[in-house]
Amino acid sequence: MSGRVVLSLDEQLINSIDTEKQRYGTTRNWVITHILEQYFAEHQEKQSLYDAWFVAEVEKGIKSAREEPLVDHEDVARQIRSIIAKAREENAAEVVQAR
């Protein structure tokens, strides 16, 4: 199939395409091409926005790693253990009060 795309379309979509074909006075291929061009343009715009966001987040992380002090692993582990212990105490108090 040299340069051809074969689409399997349901009846509702075919009717919608035929309606657009009549509205614009064009061919079914033109309508499908127009729909696909719009879809890909929108997808490309979304991808560009995501790429810009991703690059900004990576740059923010690099800047943070350079400029902000790093936290020692043991300090983080202590903080996590403290948070878990506090949550257990609060949960235990709620269980006792519920009885």
Residues 28 and 53 in one domain: yes
54 and 79 part of one domain: no
Q: Do 42 and 53 fall into the same domain?
A: yes
Q: Are residues 59 and 80 in the same domain?
A: no
pLDDT level of residue 99 (50, 70, 90 thresholds):
low
Contacts of residue 9, defined as CB under 8 A and 6 or more positions apart, other chains included, come to 17
The verdict on pTM exceeding 0.75 is no
| Whether residues 84 and 94 fall in one domain | yes
The region of weakest confidence among 32-36, 37-41, 70-74 is 32-36
Q: Is 2 exposed, middle or buried (0-12, 13-18, 19+ CB in 10 A)?
A: exposed
Report, as an integer, the average pLDDT of 34-56: 94
What's the CATH number where 9 sits? 1.10.1220
Which candidate, 41, 39, 38, 14, places its Cα nearest to that of 28?
Answer: 14
Residues 40 and 5 in one domain: yes
Please check whether residues 64 and 84 belong to one and the same domain: no
Same domain? For 46 and 61 the reply is yes
Q: Are residues 77 and 53 in the same domain?
A: no
pLDDT at residue 47, rounded to an integer: 95
Please report which confidence band the pLDDT of residue 1 belongs to, taking 50, 70 and 90 as the band edges: very low
pLDDT band at 17 (very low <50, low <70, confident <90, very high): confident
Range of the structural domain that residue 13 is part of? 1-68
